[in-house]
Amino acid sequence: GQQLNQSPQSMFIQEGEDVSMNCTSSSIFNTWLWYKQEPGEGPVLLIALYKAGELTSNGRLTAQFGITRKDSFLNISASIPSDVGIYFCAGQLAHDMRFGAGTRLTVKP
């Protein structure tokens, strides 16, 4: 099935730096979600967005649902070592959820 275009594929940053990643699609979605996956675990929900234009924060994380309903971004401010992992975007329409290929984040202390 059609997957989302997520970028960048990987990021190597210094602790304290800000991070930005985004996702685009050729299809519209009703919900955009951002998950984080650590080794040996399933994806864990970070932020869910339900309305076009919605901007939502969860601690140091901020995400936006694009106006066109075809894109979303996630920002992480003041990164810390425990932010390491793979971040996935997901667009959802009813039961149908499509995922990006993930952004692998490495944070150097």
Partner 1 sequence: GAGVSQSPSNKVTEKGKDVELRCDPISGHTALYWYRQSLGQGLEFLIYFQGNSAPDKSGLPSDRFSAERTGGSVSTLTIQRTQQEDSAVYLCASSHSTGSGTKNIQYFGAGTRLSVL
How many residues bind to partner 1 according to rule CB under 8 A? 28
* Separation CA 84–CA 103 (nearest Å): 10
- The single-letter code of the amino acid at 30 is N
Provide the 8-state DSSP code for 69: S
Tokens describing residue 28: 């519209």
By C-alpha distance, which of 7, 38, 1 is closest to 20? 7
- Please pick, from the candidates 8, 16, 18, 50, the single residue that binds partner 1 as defined by CB under 8 A: 50
Query: How are beta strands 61-65 and 55-58 bridged, if at all?
Result: antiparallel
The residue range among 37-45, 52-60, 65-73, 75-83 that interacts with partner 1, by the rule CB under 8 A, is 37-45
Contact string 81-100 vs partner 1 (x = CB under 8 A): -------x-x-x-xxxxxxx
SS3 42: coil
Shortest spacing between CB 19 and partner 1, in angstroms: 19
DSSP state, 67? T
Contact pick of 66, 85, 91, 102 for partner 1 (by CB under 8 A): 102
Nearer to partner 1, 94 or 109 (CB): 94
Tell me which residues touch partner 1 (CB under 8 A).
1, 3-4, 6, 30-31, 33, 35, 40-45, 48, 50, 88, 90, 92, 94-102
